[in-house]
Structure 1
Amino acid sequence: MLRPRRCFRTCLVLPGLSLFVVLYLTYELYDWNREIEWTGWEKSTTSFKHRLCVLVPFRDREAELAEFVPHLKRFIRAQNVDNEFIILNQTDSFRFNRASLINVRIQIVCCSLMYYYQVGWFEADRIGCDYLVMHDVDLLPLNPDLEYTFPGEGVVRHIAAPKYHPKYNYEKFVGGILMLTTHDYKKIHGMSNKYWGWGLEDDEFFLRIRDGKLKLIRPEGLATDRNTTFRHIHGPNRRRDQTRRSERTEREIAEKRRRDTMGGLSNTRYKIVERSRTSVESEPVTILNVNLQCDSVKYPYCLPTHRI
């Protein structure tokens, strides 16, 4: 049996202090959310039931972006879809990392604790997005039957299906244009961060979709084919961030082929340098300038190299 003094400390004081800390931190977070000015983000005032966030990993593709934004804005509006375009611009000196850019989150530091808001979740809270599409800047949809409407929970819609994509045609391909809810993206822990340079991050994400028991759907029965469903605007002079075969080390090849069961949303390392609201060909977009961080000892192939 506890003595009265010990019982008072154990039964009342410690639980009381714990409750006070929780309430205080909750108030601080609420107060921070209420007062801070989020430059470049818009709260949705529309009556749409769903809102789409178009996430565009980006680096040095201004000509493509100038054509992409107005084209896709018109395409999505024709389907009566409320939307917000987020250009995720990698501004560091490391090799391009498409997956990490999509994983980028807003970090809030409050009372020595850190709160994380993934881009999708931040938007869902601030501007009403409840689903997202990961979209290559050089792939323009042409067939109006390609759907950008809400896919539903538990469903991943691969809009750039292999049978219609102008370049890639294999069953596990989920690149180009991929749509799912923000809830489902979090459920499967986002994308792996270890794919520096071009390629393979989509193949690994296919396994996460499968293991997360999400339903992968693709367009079927279109009247168009691989040459007329999309327009690929990746110019012949544009160099990909890809090492030559002779330059790839056995370590890089082995690491990229190894399944990543740990990396994802929770360990994306980055710094948001600038947020801005601007227009591309008179169409409003938000640009996040992002410096990614890399453990060059673990992933030496993240360092700059020649592009081919």
Structure 2
Amino acid sequence: KVLGTILLLLNLISFLLYLTVKTSNTIILNDDRDDKRNEKKNKEATNEIDLTDDNQSFLAIKSDKTFISHAKSSNGSAKSQCALIPEKLVGRLRIDVNSTITFEEIENETRNLNIEIGGLWSPTECIARHKVAIIIPYRNRETNLKIFLRHIHPILFRQQINYGIFVIEPIQNISFNRGLLMNIGFIESLKLSNDKWNCFIFHDVDLIPEDDRNIYSCPEQPRHMSSAVSTFHYRLPYETIFGGVSALTKEQMKKVNGFSNMYFGWGGEDDDFRARIIASGLQVSRYPLEIGRYFMVNHPKDQNVNPERFKLLNKVKERFKIEGINSIEYKVVEVLKSNLYTKIIVSYDRNLILNKKHR
């Protein structure tokens, strides 16, 4: 009897534990579903598209070797369009922030990639699906630039993208204007390539992609690439953020009239850019956080905050069609082509830009 009673109690305890675990799992799943519902509502409210489903398709077709179009290679054999999902992708990457590396050492590391002068590259074994200009606004960040170039070239090589890297730098003793430099990069990269590029990635030099499945291409809607940055603990600091790294087609850039040229100093130009996108009837898309991961390399913080940014943001809808790419004024001082990138040095007149009537 004692043994039977003990066995009965053990069975009862096991059953109760089973119910506890099952109930606990149900709560977690329900909470997860509630989070997803709330997240979906938030995204709908902020005109954003979550590409989670798109990314699942992206991962599912990794083994698909079907090609869409063909051309003739130099030896007369058929040349296929590059795979939708390149087979050389490795996923999550280790970031090396060695600040002592030289440009010469980076050139030696990437020599087998056969990068062309000016930081240009295109696959030879297939026809690239994307023709992408990487636009980097730049000033006094040589260490960041070296770390960026060391990582980005191998990533884009594995993604089989036809790309060029353009670093846009203002002359010394004039105020830094990130949006204006982005616009200049858009215009000048097209001039240098005979209107070749159809996709533009606007890229802060201190952000390094941590996953090569974050494809540097332009979808049907503008894409916020850097959705999970290390300094924000790989979370969105706020839903409407559009800074860091973003991707737009040539047609989208023309539709939104590019960035505003009015933001001198730090802050405001990215929020203005996003407002232009929404006002133009477009939406913002993102990869899931586990794909859109970026490591931010340490650098001195910008102290020159733009005091006019909130006033400018309040008038985006009134201003964006007449102020941007179609109103830009600048001069190209010099174009320097190295083995890893093209640097475009420019000048502009702050007073001339700020005193225009569209302000």
Which TM-score band applies after superposition, normalised by the shorter structure?
0.5 to 0.7
**Aligned twin of 2:225:** 159
What is the alpha-carbon distance in structure 2 between the residues aligned to residue 142 and residue 43 of structure 1? 21
Counterparts in 2 of 1:135 and 1:253: CA distance versus 1, 3 Å: closer
Q: TM-score, normalised by structure 1?
A: 0.67
Q: Which moved more, 1:290-299 or 1:139-148?
A: 290-299
Q: Is the 8 Å Cα contact of residues 120 and 182 (structure 1) preserved in structure 2?
A: no
**Aligned twin of 1:81:** 161
CA displacement at 1:221 relative to structure 2: 5.6
What is the alpha-carbon distance in structure 2 between the residues aligned to residue 100 and residue 147 of structure 1? 26
CA displacement at 1:257 relative to structure 2: 3.7
Partner residue of 1:50 out of 124, 130, 149: 130
CA displacement at 1:90 relative to structure 2: 1.3
**Aligned twin of 2:278:** 210
Q: 1:163-242 maps to which residues of 2 (within 5 A)?
A: 163-164=228-229, 166-167=231-232, 169-220=237-288, 222=290, 229-235=293-299, 238-242=300-304
Q: What are structure 1's unaligned runs of at least 5 residues? A: 1-38, 106-116, 300-308
CA displacement at 1:298 relative to structure 2: 4.1
Partner residue of 2:329 out of 244, 249, 269: 269
The structure richer in strand per residue is: 1
Counterparts in 2 of 1:42 and 1:72: CA distance versus 1, 3 Å: closer
The structure richer in helix per residue is: 2
Q: Is the 8 Å Cα contact of residues 122 and 160 (structure 2) preserved in structure 1?
A: no
CA displacement at 1:272 relative to structure 2: 0.6
What is the alpha-carbon distance in structure 2 between the residues aligned to residue 63 and residue 43 of structure 1? 23
What is the alpha-carbon distance in structure 2 between the residues aligned to residue 132 and residue 51 of structure 1? 9
Counterparts in 2 of 1:43 and 1:146: CA distance versus 1, 3 Å: closer
CA displacement at 1:292 relative to structure 2: 2.0
The one-letter code of the counterpart of 2:276 is R
Counterparts in 2 of 1:199 and 1:193: CA distance versus 1, 3 Å: same
Counterparts in 2 of 1:253 and 1:214: CA distance versus 1, 3 Å: closer
| Counterpart secondary structure, 1:151 | coil
Q: Which moved more, 1:135-144 or 1:206-215?
A: 206-215
| Counterpart secondary structure, 2:336 | strand
Residue 338 of structure 2 corresponds to residue 278 of structure 1: yes
Counterparts in 2 of 1:48 and 1:123: CA distance versus 1, 3 Å: farther
CA displacement at 1:198 relative to structure 2: 0.8
CA displacement at 1:189 relative to structure 2: 0.3
The one-letter code of the counterpart of 1:182 is K
RMSD after superposition? 2.8
What is the alpha-carbon distance in structure 2 between the residues aligned to residue 276 and residue 66 of structure 1? 16
Q: Is the 8 Å Cα contact of residues 92 and 290 (structure 1) preserved in structure 2?
A: no
Q: Give aligned pairs, total.
A: 230
Counterparts in 2 of 1:122 and 1:297: CA distance versus 1, 3 Å: closer
Residue 190 of structure 2 corresponds to residue 130 of structure 1: no
Counterparts in 2 of 1:221 and 1:85: CA distance versus 1, 3 Å: closer
**Aligned twin of 1:290:** 346
CA displacement at 1:183 relative to structure 2: 1.5
What is the alpha-carbon distance in structure 1 between the residues aligned to residue 162 and residue 206 of structure 2? 22
Q: 1:94-173 maps to which residues of 2 (within 5 A)?
A: 94-104=174-184, 118-122=187-191, 125-126=194-195, 128-148=196-216, 150-152=217-219, 154-161=220-227, 163-164=228-229, 166-167=231-232, 169-173=237-241
Counterparts in 2 of 1:298 and 1:275: CA distance versus 1, 3 Å: closer
What is the alpha-carbon distance in structure 2 between the residues aligned to residue 42 and residue 141 of structure 1? 19
Report % sequence identity.
Answer: 25
**Aligned twin of 1:108:** none
**Aligned twin of 1:22:** none
Q: What are structure 2's unaligned runs of at least 5 residues? A: 1-116
Q: Is the 8 Å Cα contact of residues 221 and 285 (structure 2) preserved in structure 1?
A: yes
Show CA shifts across 1:85-136 (max 9, x none): 000011142221000011117xxxxxxxxxxx9235435635x311010000
**Aligned twin of 1:93:** 173
CA displacement at 1:270 relative to structure 2: 1.1
Which has the higher relative contact order, 1 or 2, with Cα contacts under 8 A spaced 6 or more apart? 1
| Counterpart secondary structure, 1:55 | strand
What is the alpha-carbon distance in structure 2 between the residues aligned to residue 258 and residue 169 of structure 1? 21
